[in-house]
Amino acid sequence: MIVDINFVGLIIASIMASAVPLILASCGELITERSGVLNLGVEGMMIIGAISGFALMTVTGSLIIAVFGAMLAGVLISTIFAFLTQTLITNHVATGLALTIFGIGISAMIGKNFVGIPGKEFPVLFEGLKDTIPLLSPILFGHSIVFYFAFALPFITSYFLKKTKIGLIVRAVGDSPESASNQGINVRFVRYACILYGGAMCGLAGAYLSMIYTPQWIENMTGGRGWIALALVVFSTWNPIKILIGAMIFGGLTIIQFHMQAIGVRIPVQFLTALPYIVTIIVLVVISRDSRKIRLSTPSSLGKSFHKDN
């Protein structure tokens, strides 16, 4: 088969578009986890972002209000989680799971009135340049602003954690809340902030799905992407750049298997469908063989409650 170079570009562009919600949610959750908090409510926060974005877009007609509103909704729902785990010192795992169940339920309730309404067109940037460079044009041009933001985010996150003072504080809180507290850092405040930031990014990831990727509202439309985003954080060993790679692999395998089916490659379809998950497991196994590295990169106090007595 002759492979057209632009065809390859189109495939890569599709893969990148499908990776956007995973990158956004994973980078948000990564900051939360780096501060020592394990929030399993990613799926719930994403679906709340999805319905909030879609509902606001329909009601107000403004895409800007809708995008920021979805992020705010993510912040609000994550505030519940922050209050429970940081102020009332509840268990992170149980609270996070509850958040997901709550999010799915409440989004379905709000969403009842928004089923069957078509979404609005979201503007794309640099559309005029779409046919200028072979291979690269479909990859670089003609995407939404959220798309470009998502691909910048891992680098921004990496810089933030490694090079800034606030990033250092976040890491300190995650690795040793006691020492950080003794240094005069308000651990609870830092963790609150990181949880709310994670909520905002998950809200944006949800809004991308309901407003840009498949502009519509239907129940459970996040389809488990929140859980994949959570897995990606572990997969990346808490390194934002590796999130980018992981999200591309995962999104890529899903799309490539559809292409293989359409071309007519004679491999059992069930195997192709399972491929993204199989590869994820293999990569996880390969990574976890180096247990020392895992121990070093895992935030030491991840998932443990911190309670300052005075």
Partner 1 sequence: MHKFLIRSFVSSLVLLFTLTVAAVAKEVKAAFVYIGPTGDHGWTYQHDVGRKAVEAAGFKTTYVEGVPESADAERVLRQLANSGHDIIFTTSFGYMNPTNKVAKEFPNVKFEHATGYKREHPNVATYAARFYEGRTILGTIAGTMTKSNVIGYVASFPIPEVIRGINSFTLAAQKVNPNIKTKIVWAFTWYDPGKEAEAAKALIDQGADVIAQHTDSTAIVQMAEKAGVYAFGQASDMDKFAPKAVLTSVENNWGPYYVDRVKAVANGTWNQKDTWHGIGDGMVVISGLDSQMPSDLQAKVKKLQADLASGKVHSFTGPIYDQKGNLMVAEGKTADDGMLAGMMTYVKGVEGDIPK
According to the binding rule CB under 8 A, does residue 11 interact with partner 1?
yes
Q: How far is the CB of 87 from partner 1 (least distance, A)?
A: 25
Closest to 219 measured CA to CA, from 70, 47, 46: 47
Nearer to partner 1 by Cβ, of 14 and 301: the residue is: 14
Q: How far is the CB of 136 from partner 1 (least distance, A)?
A: 16
The answer to whether residues 246 and 232 touch, using CB atoms and an 8 Å cutoff, is yes
Place of tokens 């057209």: 4
Nearer to partner 1 by Cβ, of 266 and 289: the residue is: 266
According to the binding rule CB under 8 A, does residue 142 interact with partner 1?
no
Nearer to partner 1 by Cβ, of 184 and 224: the residue is: 224
Nearer to partner 1 by Cβ, of 266 and 292: the residue is: 266
Q: How far is the CB of 273 from partner 1 (least distance, A)?
A: 5
Per-residue contact string for residues 243-282; x = within reach of partner 1 by CB under 8 A: -----------xx--xx-xxxx-x-xxx--x---------
Q: How far is the CB of 207 from partner 1 (least distance, A)?
A: 14
Per-residue contact string for residues 83-122; x = within reach of partner 1 by CB under 8 A: --------------x--xx--xx--x--xx--xx-xx---
State how far the Cα of 156 lies from the Cα of 161, in Å rounded to an integer: 9
According to the binding rule CB under 8 A, does residue 128 interact with partner 1?
no
| Interface contacts to partner 1, rule CB under 8 A | 7, 10-11, 14, 18, 97, 100-101, 104-105, 108, 111-112, 115-116, 118-119, 209, 213-221, 223, 225, 254-255, 258-259, 261-264, 266, 268-270, 273
